[in-house]
Amino acid sequence: MSVSRKIKAAMEGASWIRRMFEEGAELKARLGPERVFDFTLGNPDLEPPLRFKEALAEAVRDPSPGLHGYMFNAGFLNTREALAGHLSSMYRRDFGPQDLVLTSGAAGALNIILKALLDPGDEVIIFAPFFPDYPFYADNHGGLVRVVETDPTFQLDLEALQNALSPRTKAVLINSPNNPTGQVYPENSLGKMGELLQEHGNKVGRVVYLVADEPYSRILYDGLVLPNIFEVYPHTLLATSFSKDLSIPGERLGLCSQWLALPLSRALQGLATVGALRWKNLAPLGRPVCQDLANWVDRLRAQRAWLTARVAIPLPAKLVPSLAPCQAPQVVELRRPRLPILELHSAPQAPPLQ
């Protein structure tokens, strides 16, 4: 098949992650899967909570008519109601079902947001190192990414951001907690960024949107609290999912949301068919998903504490190591500084899983 030059170049550019994934598989085969923690692709290695599987089975057995048919672009009302309640408690704002659109994962949410925002040639600022799909998402909708370096600790460099803002800037895309660095951007830095975007927007006469990609928002360790992104800047759009905290990336359960009733929300709803896959249809799922979150994230914390007690390096906040049986590792090797594969040379004793 003769693929387009653009797709060919994109495939070549993206293949290094796959190569690292393959290197991880090769290490597992050589050293044993219980000794290699592979952080190359964002596939959680815990199974989803039992309650999620039960809810799934209930949803499949639900005899209500229409559950497998077309539905509103934004997704079924009762699913959105349940998720609006979840957003309201998380972001301390009064979200209603009209304020969110169900999507096919955070990736679907980001694509809908960028589709709603971008005209050809508009710029989207992203911060390095970044989730490698971002440039593809911007390109899907005619946008260009402008990459801004972070500071030596991978925190936002606001001066670099200021220098990168241009009359073509339509959006600034941030990801906190961050993949791959694990950094969480503090409130004061986000607040200053909000002021910067407001000033720049006033100067050039166009709104610069802040797109917050937060699929890791509930996976926080060491008492860290994620600043409320809706308090930082009024023109904020949220993309999130349950892929990571419920270990269900294959189910594609995500959403995008904005709190202020800007005209943009109608555009998001209109475009939501882009993300129309699977879970949008399963109305009963929303509530159990929300109920599960708290306990499940505690389990991830216990798992991380177990591993950090045994390795010599501080783990970034995001990393969620496996609870596969594994005893006191003696050597930890970081194969890549930014997308590590941890290789544990030792033998095994893990805490029991409940």
Ligand X SMILES: Cc1ncc(COP(=O)(O)O)c(C=O)c1O
Binding site for ligand X (CB under 6 A): 42, 105-107, 131, 175, 179, 213, 215, 241, 243, 249, 254
Cβ-based nearer residue to ligand X, 106 or 190: 106
- Report the residue closest to ligand X, judged by CB: 105
- Least distance in angstroms from the C-beta of 39 to ligand X: 11
Q: Taking the CA of residue 5 as centre, how many other CA atoms within 13 Å lie in the half-sphere pointing to its CB? A: 0
- Least distance in angstroms from the C-beta of 110 to ligand X: 7
Cβ atoms within 10 Å of 353's Cβ, excluding its own: 12
User: Are 140 and 113 spatial neighbours (Cβ–Cβ below 8 Å)?
Assistant: no
Cβ-based nearer residue to ligand X, 73 or 241: 241
> Phi, psi at residue 290, to the nearest 5°?
-65, -40
- Least distance in angstroms from the C-beta of 108 to ligand X: 6
- Least distance in angstroms from the C-beta of 35 to ligand X: 24
Cβ-based nearer residue to ligand X, 126 or 344: 126
Cβ-based nearer residue to ligand X, 109 or 208: 109
Edge to edge, the sheet with strand 209-213 lists: 100-104, 253-257, 236-241, 209-213, 169-175, 123-128, 144-149
Cβ-based nearer residue to ligand X, 232 or 339: 339
The CA distance from 90 to 43, in Å, is 24
Token digits of residue 264: 């943009």
Cβ-based nearer residue to ligand X, 34 or 133: 133
- By residue count, the chain amounts to 354
> Residue with structure tokens 């799934």?
56
- Least distance in angstroms from the C-beta of 260 to ligand X: 23
The CA distance from 175 to 33, in Å, is 30
User: Are 214 and 110 spatial neighbours (Cβ–Cβ below 8 Å)?
Assistant: no
- Least distance in angstroms from the C-beta of 218 to ligand X: 13
Q: Crossing angle, helix 77-91 and helix 286-308, to 10 degrees?
A: 40
Cβ-based nearer residue to ligand X, 3 or 128: 128
Identity of residue 295: N
120 burial (CB, 10 Å; 0-12 / 13-18 / 19+) is exposed
- Least distance in angstroms from the C-beta of 131 to ligand X: 4
